[in-house]
Amino acid sequence: MDRRSFIRDLGYFSGGLALACSSLSNRAANLVAEAPAKAYGYGELFPVAAKNTGETLITLPKGFEYNVLGRIKSIMSDGRPTPGAHDGMWTFKVGKQFRIVRNHEVSNGQVPREGSAIGSSNHYDEMAGGGTTTLIIDPKTNTVVKDFVSLSGTLINCAGGPTPWGSWITCEETTLGPTVRTNSRGVKIGGYPKPHGYCFEVSAKAESPVTPVPLKAMGRFTHEAIAVGKKGVIYLTEDYNPSGFYRFLPRKEKKLAEGGTLQMLSVVNKPEYDTRSGQTNGVRLQAQWVTIDNPDPQEADIDPLAVFKQGRAKGGALFNRLEGCCTDRNGNIYFTSTSGGDQKAGQIWRYERKDRDTGFLTLVYESPSKDLLYMPDNICLRPKSDLVFVCEDGDYPGMESKNFVRILSPDGKMADFARNVSTEHPRSEFAGSTFSQDGRTLFVNLQSAGVTLAIWGDWKNFRS
């Protein structure tokens, strides 16, 4: 079952890091309430054949090329087949090596399956087929030198985020566990040996599957992404409607398994503030945080909103499906609401820390049209620029799928950079956008196609 089907089913039964993302410091000031304009970007898009395989999967501006890497079912260096459902990922420099840690959003059909764990050892739940793989890349050729499983036995690993100490936090976008649920179509799901819905830490230095440790204090909910801000605080998004925006205050920085406090954002003097519609670009809301008393509730086994409901009861704000999340060089946090806004076409928000307990929430961009931006998901910044690369996830039954990689410019305009034109997987979303640390190569996934793309070209000639 693909990701969109999984999200739909959930609704049936209830509901180096300074360069990680754009500084966007002046972006909100440049935006106005009227419909933002379209930017020229790098120019018109044309179908392009992959340099290494000859297949045409995407369109790109003139002067850009790409390779196809890490294809589903290809045998990796550890002898294991490459899992499918490529999703969130990040790039790291380990010694002289350039590494990518990549998620696999495998759902198992939402039921446990014998032998589905992707690794050869160290499974969290041997009945679950999600996890992460690590790719070592030759930066001169943009090809894979070595690849292997680095986390095994987790479920629906959607997005996540990098830490300043050289690890990837991978997030499970589900709360399925031992309890068997029955959805509205009469299908039984769940029944796993272990509870799911947690974050796991994977060192970029790992050479084999890490020992999986669920970070239970970071909450059990339908996780999407994380970003590390000032003081080592970790911010988390939740892919559900309604959903919350969270932060985790670790007891010890860099020691996440030792616990901490989970909190949910609320708007001062506006309890249960609903951000999903009726918002204005650039408006700054004063925010505070309410504490989640039980971040790992047993009832999450049957209720994906068990954590959210605790925060909402204390006045927490409501969002519509939060997804991508990242940090700018000033420690501000940017995150996407994939279905937010009056057109339900997506929003991009920013949280600025004021002091330990308060900050400001600003709507940076709301899509006025699905032709400009539709269903923003993962986001990243090209290093040493203010260009935000946004993956679209517009694959929904009954709708025309035109998934793009878009670019948000500093003056609030949206440009097209790439479009999925695969004939075999025409509805595949883009996911996991991340640049090499030198900014020369953009890596991004076509999820249902089960491939990672390495894209390079002349990045200097962006026109707004």
Q: Where are the domains of the chain?
A: 3-456
- Segment 457-462 mean pLDDT: 95
The count of other CB atoms within 10 Å of the CB of residue 413 is 19
pLDDT of residue 13: 31
Helix (H) or strand (E) holding 312: helix 306-313
22 or 307, higher pLDDT: 307
Q: Is 277's pLDDT higher than 90?
A: yes
CB 263 within 8 A of CB 249: yes
Residue of 229, 198, 160 whose CA lies nearest to 295: 198
> Other CB atoms closer than 10 Å to residue 9's CB: what's the count?
18
Of 236-240, 383-387, 394-398, 433-437, minimum mean pLDDT range:
394-398
Kindly state the tokens that stand for 171.
């997030």
Structure tokens at 134: 């690590």
pLDDT of residue 399: 65
Check residue 209 and report its DSSP letter: P
Which carries the bigger pLDDT value, residue 328 or residue 2?
Answer: 328
Q: What is the mean pLDDT of residues 184-197?
A: 94
Look at 4-8, 110-114, 322-326, 361-365 and tell me which has the smallest mean pLDDT: 4-8
Q: How far apart (Å, rounded) are the C-alpha atoms in residues 364 and 358? A: 19
User: Over 70: is that where the pLDDT of 379 sits?
Assistant: yes
β strands within 307-375, DSSP E: 322-327, 333-337, 347-353, 358-366
User: Once rounded to an integer, what is the mean pLDDT over residues 241-248?
Assistant: 98
Q: Residue 386 has what pLDDT?
A: 85
- Residue 120's pLDDT is what? 95
CATH code for residues 3-456: 2.120.10.30
pLDDT value at position 397? Answer: 62
Q: Name the amino acid, one letter, at 415.
A: A
Q: Does residue 1 have a pLDDT over 50?
A: no
Counting every residue written for the chain, the total comes to: 464
Dist. CA 171–CA 295, nearest whole Å: 15
Average pLDDT over every residue of 380-405: 84
CA atoms within 13 A of residue 289's CA, in its CB half-sphere: 23
Confidence of residue 31 (pLDDT cuts 50, 70, 90): very low
